[in-house]
Amino acid sequence: MGGLDALRQFTLIKWLREERQSRKLILFIVFVALLLDNMLLTVVVPIIPSYLYNLDESADVEIRNSSLSPQAPSGSFHTVVSLYDNSVRLSGSNSTVSAADPARPAPAHAPLPRNSSDCPRSTSRLLNENVKVGMLFASKATVQLLTNPFIGPLTNRIGYQLPIFAGFCIMFLSTIMFAFSSSYTLLFLARSLQGVGSSCSSVAGMGMLASVYTDDEERGHAIGIALGGLALGVLVGPPFGSVMYDFVGKTAPFLVLAFLALFDGALQLFVLQPTKVEPESQKGTPLFTLMKDPYILIAAGAICFGNMAIAMMEPTLPIWMMETMCTRRWQLGIAFLPASISYLIGTNIFGSLAHKMGRWLCALIGMVVVGFSVICVPFARDIYGLILPNFGVGFAIGMVDSSMMPIMGYLVDLRHVSVYGSVYAIADVAFCMGFALGPSIGGSIAESIGFPWLMTIIGVVDIFFAPLCLFLKNPPGQEEKIVSLDLNPTPPIGTIPSMRGYPKIKAPGWCTLDRKWNENESS
């Protein structure tokens, strides 16, 4: 049996080496990389707010405990902290001192209050958690935002294999740090480190797909599948994290993700051979030149503001649910399940459909639906009331992402040099700006004026941005601009006939144009 297993393993390795240049295998690697990245991105959403709140509550109980200790008679009583019901019990007596009011003893057989993680006692402290959680969530996107401008040009020089493998290594280290961190500082560092790894994985992965899928329709379909990995990570992350955290512990979900990351790293080693440096055959358009392109900026803006809606909900919705619904911990992640499922559906449907209906129209409709859906979120009175608006948010963001990501590569083909590292760095910058500004600004706004007003503001912004997608309906190409400018000069009267009736001519040189001029003159 040992020889048979070795033969099977050898056959698998041989098949992987033979299929190294397969586009489907490369698509699978990018799919898994985006899956793991976004599982780690969202698995913390239900964990961090409750975990940090419990840390602060435990610290307060210990402080009150130490302040009560000198009042107890020496040798008769000593205090015991109960983290279950947020109280301090005096052993050796039948009295219980409430953490909310240390001076007032409670009856020995009084009913226990609900778990503090389900229905928090301190509303003011819960509101203060908005800022802390928002800053921690935003740290990943902020670091990724700062890293992307360097990763994009780097992929043009050394290829896509090394950066995507470096992203795996950094993501693995970040996952281990999340598993064993027990303070806000270490969690903040782990989240920031994830931003560097995510930048390498997403920019290199999307650029690799755009380079191997050169046909626009095929590229849109492939990027739609890859975004399905992103969607699946967003889908599985919150419920997986909340259930594992509630029933197993904080460490367990991150260890599972670390194991899956090792699988992806081994696959990359066999298939991509990340030790090779394979620069692009032609020099790409400079990053700052692409950033000045108004059509690329509109597409990037749609990605940014569309994803900012869900980014604002991630740190604030669980806290709002804990405040208004007394939601159990495992339900904090389940609330995002409709958005995740609909995002997965949307990216798979519109990966191909957006090319047929028009990607500009798909994005325009998606932005409008995102806006109205987030405005409806605060009207929910229980977790079931969140199903429909969250479903609309996820489905609409899937429409925007699956149409704008392929159009970024199309705009580079149409208006610039077909090298894709820098333009997908811009796309990732837009994505990260949404997830950097969303939690940081959203947490402060929710603390100041409330969660309902926060949702109203971002909803109105998305609706007003939607009409800009009309400009992406028929963007001019580089050759069309040159021809249209040179075919309509202002020549001396009577020397050159009018060309108004002729269609625009796409030609790399001027041979076809000269031939057209001669035919017109001879006639």
Of 106 and 287, more confident: 287
Domain boundary among 229, 245, 274: 274
DSSP label at 328? -
Q: Mean pLDDT over residues 241-249, rounded?
A: 82
For the stretch 172-209, pLDDT in tens is 999 999 888 888 888 889 989 998 998 888 888 888 88
If pLDDT is split at 50, 70 and 90, which confidence band does 89 have?
very low
- Cα–Cα distance, 212 to 38 (Å, whole number): 23
Residue 83: what pLDDT? 36
Whether residue 115 has pLDDT greater than 80 = no
Highest-confidence segment of 18-22, 33-37, 431-435, 459-463: 459-463
Answer yes or no: do 245 and 361 share one domain.
no
Whether residue 307 has pLDDT greater than 60 = yes
Give me the residues paired with residue 78 across strands.
91
Looking at the domain assignment, is residue 422 inside a domain?
yes
Residue 105: what pLDDT? 43
For the stretch 338-375, pLDDT in tens is 888 888 888 888 877 888 888 899 999 999 999 999 99
Whether residue 212 has pLDDT greater than 90 = no
Radius of gyration of the chain (CA): 28
- State in Å, rounded, how far the first CA of the chain is from the last one: 85
Residue 458: what pLDDT? 92
- Min mean pLDDT across 32-36, 229-233, 375-379 is at 229-233
Of 46 and 471, more confident: 471
If pLDDT is split at 50, 70 and 90, which confidence band does 12 have?
low
Answer yes or no: do 354 and 388 share one domain.
yes
State the greatest distance between any 2 C-alpha atoms of the chain, in Å, as a whole number: 117
DSSP label at 97? E
Residue 161: what pLDDT? 83
Residue 123: what pLDDT? 53
Whether residue 421 has pLDDT greater than 80 = no
Alpha carbon of 268 to those of 201, 225, 255: distances in Å?
12, 18, 20
Domain boundary among 223, 250, 274: 274
Answer yes or no: do 166 and 262 share one domain.
yes
- Cα–Cα distance, 434 to 73 (Å, whole number): 57
Residue 73: what pLDDT? 46
**Tokens encoding 195:** 């931003």
Residue 248: what pLDDT? 83
- Cα–Cα distance, 17 to 252 (Å, whole number): 34
Q: Mean pLDDT over residues 113-132, rounded?
A: 54
Answer yes or no: do 269 and 291 share one domain.
no
Q: How many domains does the chain have?
A: 2
Looking at the domain assignment, is residue 90 inside a domain?
no
Residue 8: what pLDDT? 54
Q: Mean pLDDT over residues 406-411, rounded?
A: 86
Answer yes or no: do 184 and 329 share one domain.
no
Alpha carbon of 349 to those of 224, 357, 367, 481: distances in Å?
8, 12, 17, 34
Answer yes or no: do 269 and 289 share one domain.
no
Catalogue the E-assigned strands of 331-393.
Answer: none
Looking at the domain assignment, is residue 109 inside a domain?
no
- Cα–Cα distance, 164 to 202 (Å, whole number): 8
Answer yes or no: do 203 and 316 share one domain.
no
C-alpha atoms less than 13 angstroms from C-alpha of 169 in its C-beta half-sphere? 8
Domain boundary among 206, 239, 274: 274
If pLDDT is split at 50, 70 and 90, which confidence band does 393 have?
very high
Q: Assess contact for 45 and 136: CB atoms under 8 A.
A: no
Of 500 and 61, more confident: 61
Q: Which residue has the tokens 């796409």?
A: 506
If pLDDT is split at 50, 70 and 90, which confidence band does 128 have?
low
CB neighbourhood size of 274 (10 A): 19
Q: Mean pLDDT over residues 273-292, rounded?
A: 72
Q: At what angle do helices 421-449 and 123-158 cross, to 10 degrees?
A: 170
If pLDDT is split at 50, 70 and 90, which confidence band does 70 have?
low
Q: Assess contact for 394 and 343: CB atoms under 8 A.
A: yes
Highest-confidence segment of 52-61, 355-364, 459-468, 508-517: 459-468
Looking at the domain assignment, is residue 349 inside a domain?
yes
Contacting residues for 306 by C-beta, under 8 A, at least 6 apart:
366, 367, 370, 396, 397, 400, 401, 434, 462
Whether residue 36 has pLDDT greater than 80 = yes
If pLDDT is split at 50, 70 and 90, which confidence band does 422 have?
confident
Answer yes or no: do 151 and 229 share one domain.
yes
Q: Mean pLDDT over residues 370-393, rounded?
A: 91
CB neighbourhood size of 78 (10 A): 13
Q: Mean pLDDT over residues 278-301, rounded?
A: 81
For the stretch 139-153, pLDDT in tens is 888 888 888 888 878
- Cα–Cα distance, 170 to 370 (Å, whole number): 33
Residue 467: what pLDDT? 94
Looking at the domain assignment, is residue 137 inside a domain?
yes
Residue 67: what pLDDT? 67
The percent of residues in the chain predicted with pLDDT above 70, rounded, is 71
- Cα–Cα distance, 407 to 508 (Å, whole number): 23
CATH of the domain at 365: 1.20.1250.20
Q: Mean pLDDT over residues 158-185, rounded?
A: 87
Q: Which residue has the tokens 């995102």?
A: 370
Looking at the domain assignment, is residue 1 inside a domain?
no
If pLDDT is split at 50, 70 and 90, which confidence band does 518 have?
very low
E strand or H helix that includes residue 27: helix 23-43
Answer yes or no: do 327 and 386 share one domain.
yes
What type of residue is 147?
Answer: T
Residue 459: what pLDDT? 93
Domain that holds residue 328: 285-479
- Cα–Cα distance, 154 to 188 (Å, whole number): 27
Highest-confidence segment of 75-84, 295-304, 426-435: 295-304
Answer yes or no: do 330 and 436 share one domain.
yes
**Tokens encoding 284:** 């790409």
Q: Assess contact for 231 and 349: CB atoms under 8 A.
A: no
Looking at the domain assignment, is residue 82 inside a domain?
no
If pLDDT is split at 50, 70 and 90, which confidence band does 10 have?
low
Q: At what angle do helices 184-212 and 123-158 cross, to 10 degrees?
A: 40
Looking at the domain assignment, is residue 488 inside a domain?
no
Query: pTM score, two decimals?
Result: 0.64
Q: Assess contact for 404 and 363: CB atoms under 8 A.
A: yes
Answer yes or no: do 131 and 268 share one domain.
yes
Of 231 and 222, more confident: 222
Name which of 226, 161, 170, 230 is nearest 197 in CA terms. Answer: 170
| Dihedrals phi, psi of 246, to nearest 5 degrees | -75, -35
Residue 391: what pLDDT? 93
| H helix intervals, 69-183 | 123-158, 161-180
Name which of 392, 354, 348, 385 is nearest 370 in CA terms. Answer: 392
Answer yes or no: do 454 and 385 share one domain.
yes
Residue 146: what pLDDT? 86
Contacting residues for 82 by C-beta, under 8 A, at least 6 apart:
88, 89
Residue 374: what pLDDT? 93
If pLDDT is split at 50, 70 and 90, which confidence band does 460 have?
very high
